[in-house]
Structure formats: structure tokens, C-alpha cells
Amino acid sequence: MSLITVDQANRVFHLHNQTLSYIFAVEQGGTLSHLYFGGHVDHYHGELRYPRVDRGFSGNLPGSTDRTFSRDTLPKEYSTAGEMDYHLPAAIVRHTDGANALFLVYQGYRIEAGKPKLSGLPAAFVEDETEAETLTIVLVDQVSQVEFDLQYTIYRDRPVVTRSVQVCNQGDHAVNLEKVASMQIDFTDRQFETITLPGAHANERHPERGSINYGIQTFGSLRGTSSHQMNPFLALVDHTTTEFSGDAYGFNLVYSGNHAFELEKDQLDQLHLMVGINSYNFNWQLKAGATFQTPEVLMVYTNKGLNAMSQAYHHLIRERVVRSEFKNQERPIVVNNWEATFFDFNEAKLKPIVDEAKQLGIEMFVLDDGWFGHRDDDNSSLGDWQVDHRKFPQGLNHFVKYVHEQGLKFGIWLEPEMISYDSKLYQQHPDYLMQVPGRSPSPSRNQYILDLGRQAVRNNIFDQLDQLLKSKQIDYIKWDMNRHLSDIYSVALPPERQGEVYHRYVLGLYELLERLTTAYPHILFEGCSGGGGRFDAGMAYYMPQIWASDNTDAVARLTIQYGTSLAYPISLATAHVSVSPNQQTGRETSMSTRSAVAASGVLGYELDLTQLSSADKQIVQKQVVQYKQIRPLIQFGEFYRLKSPITSNQAAWMFVSPQQDEAIVMVFNLTSYAQPSLTKTKLVGLNPKLNYQNIATKAIFGGDELMQLGFYDPVVYQDYTTKVYHFRAVTEN
Ligand code: DGJ
């Protein structure tokens, strides 16, 4: 069955699969009019059109006397500055005469099987051409001959449409792109709420549900990265949408730099949404004949609530964004020395941690920050990726060999995008440091940014890392980034092209990651940016897992991991057990709560294992065994949020196997009260016809019983307790 239907007579395009329909038409003036995005429509006859109404102060098409058609009021697919539309435009193009006029007119379309790659940018892909179809709509400005190709891909078996834009300058003169959104969508007669993922360092991705008021509202980042502060994801939901019912529209931008999700609610209660690269300090010179590709937006639609939206993203990102050969492999349980030692370590001090890890069944040792240059604190050596012989007198290989001999894999920390003043790299190449001529660059964590937009800089870093990786048996890399961009300037570009620096940095990063991950496909890469500061689908394309947050406090992590799961799969989020009281919050929690929260992601440990009490060691040992048993279920099962730590005094979630024959349920109680109200946990996603046994108590429940009646949570007079249930389908005698 074709996924894209074109009604040639009425010039209507209909993208459809079993779940959704996305419909737009070509109207007067070659204008694309958005008609519908929602549940699947089978019998569409093209009747719904935007009504023609003469609206004061909303002008009409050039040369037309029809006062009822206005690009200002029409719900559109893509708008530009200078076309009689008083809303925020999706694109702004500046011509050599200084004008920003652009009037895009429909020229034609192409349909192709599958999904073409996006040049230089991460994007969702297909493994087989029959999985998806792609529609390209060609719009052209007749005066300048600047062409906008709107790209839409619809997947056959996923509730997903992806969108991006390619701009091609077919004219004779260079133009400047001052803004190019990846998509626009306009809604009429909908009263949506937004769900976004704002946060902070060590406090990332706290879901926030908000109303949409008249005017313009932007959720975005100006930090040069996708950021801790505002993840590049937004959902539009109805007031009545819950985790399990109602319309949810998700928009996830596959990009790791400055982004903007712009909403405008206008005088007619119509809502415009634009998603793409933030136009702040963006100005791209597009020479005659050149093209510019925007990042891609992953759009999801469901009428089954937020869990269904999240699951669509979990599957899409895990299966069709992450490319690493590890994407379907169970991820090793690591111990990381950062919170155990910080910078204060040497080979002799690390070996006992490795020994202890072996005893506990841990599978990988990760050597964190401080192993290179002469880095005893965070003031030096970034850019010098050679081992510090004071800490490893017999070289790094000697230690790597030791780790391998204990049966553990070896991982290493890198921060390749950075440079310290106190480094050989700076002495040799001071110009690699991004800075504005004549001004002092601003430090952050006393470090500076490398100008990754430059090929020479990327080559230097690639060669250093290549040297390190080819001579050592390194199994894993933690790729960190501990500051945001500032001093935006590149000596490689003329003054009039400095507006390209932010985006060129991201493109440079992607190119470097492409080279490294291609050269070293057997290394497991983990993304990190001071925790989850670059937790986005763009990084997921190169790295199958990302450190979710520097905050390892189990209670804080409940909200962070809860929020993260809205838009990203569990297999992407790493989570570590650390010491109590926690180093970031000072909070005390039990080992079992810390373990359960960390085991709700890609589990690891981040503490001095040699300092554990023997009771805690036993818990860890047991937990490692248990986690290995349930690991496929956690990392690749269907994940459901049951109770929100933001709106209740509990958090609860569950993981169900694809065959629905096994489930893990975790219920976390937050603050303890005298005379507590009783709470029940009801499960979802099970087979109502099967019976399930609680493996610990042997009690048997019907699947329908667990989902309809649920069970009472135990009353516990203690803060931050956890209950983990493991159910397996059984045949009753
Ligand atoms: C920030 C990371 O998130 C931490 O886990 C650790 O690797 C430090 N950087 C090291 O500098």
C-alpha cells in the first residue's frame, strides 16, 4: 500500500499509515495550506478547506482582488518573511539588495521509496526501502530563484512523520539565510497545552506542562548545544490528555546545537509552531548553486496518550536513529572512578577498585577525567590526549592489560572539543581556541572551546585520538563536554560569515564523530555533557548511550529519568549507583533505592567499591546478578510510566517484554507520613488473558486483574523506599 496519495485534480497531498494522516493542499498563489494532522483517515474526499473570509488588516496576494484569501490567516506548511504574513516566519532570506522579501510558490513534487540521507547531519533512517516513503515539495521564489524543498517522510509501521528542508540557491547571486526552520505546522480550533523538558546542570529534563497564551513563546537554547536548560523536544497535548489517553503530538529535533521551538497563538486562536535551528546569531551565506540542509524533526502523533507517544520515540530512536553496532546489544555494567576518586588517583589506587569490581560481577572499568597531560584538577591539559606517566608510570597499556586480565572491559573518558590554556595544544596552536579577535575569551570551568568548524582543528584532534585508540585496547569512550559555547568567532571565516559559526561547530562535531565511529565501530561510545547537557537524538545517531545527569541522587534521578523517558529510550540513558549521602544533594537513601533507580536505565556504579560495607557489597553483588537477568527487559522492553514523581508522592514505572510474558514493576515512595493514605499500583501493557506470578511471593494474578484492580502498595514508615516486583506469565494448574 502506498503511503502517500496525491489528488492531482485538487492538488492535495495525503501522507497516511494505519495510525495517522497528514494532509495539505496547494491553494491560491501556489501556497501550501495545512489541512490536517491526526488519526488515520481512510475515506478522505478533499472537502475540508480553510474557509475564505475577508479579514481586516490581513492582506491579500500580490495582484489579486480577492480579499478573502490571505497568507496571513491561512494555516500553512511553511511561511517566509516578506509575503504578507504577520506571524513569525519559518524562513528569512536576505538578498544582495538588502530586502528580505521571499514569496514561495509551489512548483511540483517528487515521491521516492525509503528515506534519503541528510547530507552532513544525523537523521532517522530506514533499513529497507519499503519501510517509508518520502515526499518532497518544491517551492520557489520566482524573483530570486531560491528553492525550498520541504521533505516529508512517513514510516509505514510507526506513528511517525519526519520533516526537514533543503534550500537551494538556483539564482545568480548569493543570498543570506537568516532563519531556516526545519518545519512549520499550523493548527486551527485546537486548545493545546505544551509539554517541554527544561532543566539545569544536574537537574535535567523536568517535564513541564504549560498553557499557550496569545503571542509568541519560544522554548530554545542559545548555548551552542542542545543544553541541560531546554531539551530540543516539545509535545502539544489536549487539556484532557493523560499518560494513557488523548491526543499527543511530539516534535523532537535531531540536532545538538542552538534550537528554537516557536509557538505563536494569533488573533484567530490559530496556533503556529516552528521548529529548527535558533535564528539567534545565525546568518548563512548561500552562494549561487549552493544548498543548505536543515536538521530533521521527528514528529509523532497518537491518540493514546503520553506513554504511547514516548514508546513511538523509544522504538524510533533505538531502532532507526542509533546506528552503533551496540544498538541491540546488552550494555555492560560499568564502574566509573569519577565520584570515587575525582582527580586524585594513580594506577595503584585504581587496581583495588578493579579487583573489587571483578568480585562483584561488574563488567567494565571506566577511567574518568584526569588520566592525561598533567591534569590534577580541572585547570589544565584539555587538548593533550597523552597519558600522564606520573599516574601510570608504566604507561596506560599496562593498566588496560590489568583490567582486561581481570575479565573486565576498559573504558576511557575524553573531552575532545575543549582546550586549556595550560596545554601543549594551546602552546602549539593558540588560534584553535575559539575567540573574538581583540577580546579575551570567557572561561567556563577554566576551559575553552576548540573551533571545530575548522578542518585543521578536527584533524589534529582526530589524529591524537586515533593514536590513542589504535595503540590501546579501549572498549568504550565517554565523550564529555563541560561548558557551553561563547566567544563565537572563527578565524577561518570572513567577517560577513561569522553568523555561520554556531552551526559550523555542530557540523564539525558531527563530522568528527562520523570519522571516529566509522574508524572504531567496535568501541562503545557514551555521550556526556556535564551529565545530560547534550541528551538529544543528534548525539544518539553516533552514540547508543548518554550519561543522563551528573546528579546521581536516586530521588532527584526519579524526575530526571521520568522526564527523559518522555522522548528518549531507556537504552539511551545511563544511571549509576553512588554513595549516600549523595555528593550533589546531600540526601541519604538506601542502597536498594539507589540500585533500583540506577537499574531503571543502563546500570553502572560510581563510587569507591573498596569502601562499601560488607552488607552493601552483598546487595550490589545480588543486584548485579539480578540486573544481568532482567537487562534485556529493562534496556529493550516496552517502558510505561505509571505514577509521576512530580504530581504524586510516588513514582512508578514498568518494563514489559515484547511477548508480554514478563514484567518488572518499580514503585518508589517519596516522603513518609503518619497515617498515610493507601495507594494502589495498577499495571498496564500485560496480556489480560494470561496469568502472572509474582516471582518473589509466588502469588498469581490475572493480567486483567493486575491491570484493572492492581495491588496495594505496602505501607512503609520511611522516606524514599522502593518496591520492585517481577512478574512472569504462568499456566495455572
Ligand atoms: C562531567 C561528567 O558528567 C562527569 O561524570 C565527569 O566525567 C566529569 N565531567 C569529569 O570532569
- The fraction of the chain above a pLDDT of 90, given in percent, is 98
In the predicted model, is pLDDT for residue 322 greater than 90? yes
Q: Residue 531: CB within 6 Å of ligand 1?
A: yes
At 472, is the pLDDT very low, low, confident or very high (cuts 50, 70, 90)?
confident
Q: Please list, residue by residue across 411-442, b when 16 or more beta carbons sit within 10 angstroms of its beta carbon and e when fewer do.
A: bbbbbbbbbbbbbebbeebeebbbbeeeeeee
385 CA distance to ligand 1 centroid (A)?
16
531 CA distance to ligand 1 centroid (A)?
7
Would you say the CATH fold of 643-730 matches that of 4-43+69-320? no
pLDDT in tens, 401-421: 999 999 999 999 999 999 999
Confidence at residue 672, expressed as pLDDT on a 0 to 100 scale: 97
Going by DSSP bridges, is the β-strand pair 91-94/175-187 parallel, antiparallel, or unpaired? antiparallel
**Average of per-residue pLDDT across 499-511:** 98
452 CA distance to ligand 1 centroid (A)?
21
Q: Residue 692: CB within 6 Å of ligand 1?
A: no
528 CA distance to ligand 1 centroid (A)?
8
Q: Which atom of ligand 1 is nearest to the CA of 528?
A: 3
Catalytic one of 85, 451, 480, 616: 480
Question: How far apart are the C-alpha atoms of 488 and 543, rounded to whole Å?
Answer: 26
Nearest CA to ligand 1 atom 11: 369
Question: How far apart are the C-alpha atoms of 309 and 292, rounded to whole Å?
Answer: 30
Q: Residue 369: CB within 6 Å of ligand 1?
A: yes
480 catalytic? Reply is: yes
**Among candidate residues 29, 25, 34, 19, the one with its CA nearest the CA of residue 6:** 25
Mutate to test the pocket of ligand 1, among 201, 338, 376 (most ligand atoms within 8 A of CB): 338
Residue 214, number of CB atoms within 10 A of its CB: 10
Q: Which atom of ligand 1 is nearest to the CA of 547?
A: 3
247 CA distance to ligand 1 centroid (A)?
39
Higher-confidence residue: 17 or 45? 17
In the predicted model, is pLDDT for residue 733 greater than 70? no
Q: Residue 371: CB within 6 Å of ligand 1?
A: no
Q: Which atom of ligand 1 is nearest to the CA of 368?
A: 7
If you average pLDDT over every residue of the chain, what do you get? 97
Q: Which residues are CB-contacts of 282 (< 8 A; sequence separation ≥ 6)? A: 177, 178, 179, 258, 499, 500, 502, 503
Collapsing DSSP to helix, strand or coil, 440 comes out as: coil
Question: How far apart are the C-alpha atoms of 252 and 297, rounded to whole Å?
Answer: 5
Q: Residue 383: CB within 6 Å of ligand 1?
A: no
448 CA distance to ligand 1 centroid (A)?
16
Nearest CA to ligand 1 atom 6: 338
Q: What are phi and psi of 309, to 5 degrees?
A: -60, -45
At 732, is the pLDDT very low, low, confident or very high (cuts 50, 70, 90)?
low
DSSP bridge partners of 132? 155
Cell representation of residue 206: 523536568
The pTM score is 0.98
Mutate to test the pocket of ligand 1, among 529, 550, 577 (most ligand atoms within 8 A of CB): 550
CATH of domain 643-730: 2.60.40.1180
Q: Which residues are CB-contacts of 573 (< 8 A; sequence separation ≥ 6)? A: 535, 545, 546, 548, 561, 564, 565, 601, 602
Going by DSSP bridges, is the β-strand pair 680-681/691-694 parallel, antiparallel, or unpaired? unpaired
Q: In the chain, where are the structural domains located?
A: 4-43+69-320, 334-636, 643-730
Q: Residue 165: CB within 6 Å of ligand 1?
A: no
Q: Residue 550: CB within 6 Å of ligand 1?
A: yes
Collapsing DSSP to helix, strand or coil, 634 comes out as: helix
Q: Residue 480: CB within 6 Å of ligand 1?
A: yes
**Average of per-residue pLDDT across 389-406:** 97
In the predicted model, is pLDDT for residue 731 greater than 90? no
Decide if 178 contacts 50 (C-beta within 8 A).
no
pLDDT in tens, 47-103: 899 999 999 999 999 999 999 999 999 999 999 999 999 999 999 999 999 999 999
Nearest CA to ligand 1 atom 10: 369
For 714-732, the three-class secondary structure string (H helix, E strand, C coil) is: CCCCCCCEEEEEEEEEECC
408 CA distance to ligand 1 centroid (A)?
21
Catalytic one of 141, 368, 384, 550: 550
For residue 544, CA distances in Å to 318, 331, 454, 479, 540 come to: 8, 9, 26, 12, 6
In the predicted model, is pLDDT for residue 604 greater than 80? yes
Domain 334-636: give its CATH superfamily.
Answer: Aldolase class I (3.20.20.70)
CA 345-405-607 angle, to 5 degrees, is: 35
Indicate the CATH number of 4-43+69-320 among 3.90.1170.50, 2.70.98.60, 3.40.50.20, 2.60.120.10.
Answer: 2.70.98.60
Confidence at residue 47, expressed as pLDDT on a 0 to 100 scale: 87
Decide if 529 contacts 223 (C-beta within 8 A).
no
Amino acid letter for position 671: T
Q: Which atom of ligand 1 is nearest to the CA of 531?
A: 3
Q: Residue 338: CB within 6 Å of ligand 1?
A: yes
Decide if 612 contacts 598 (C-beta within 8 A).
no
Question: How far apart are the C-alpha atoms of 305 and 289, rounded to whole Å?
Answer: 45
Q: Residue 413: CB within 6 Å of ligand 1?
A: yes
Nearest CA to ligand 1 atom 1: 530
Greatest Cα pair distance in the chain: 85
Mutate to test the pocket of ligand 1, among 369, 481, 539 (most ligand atoms within 8 A of CB): 369
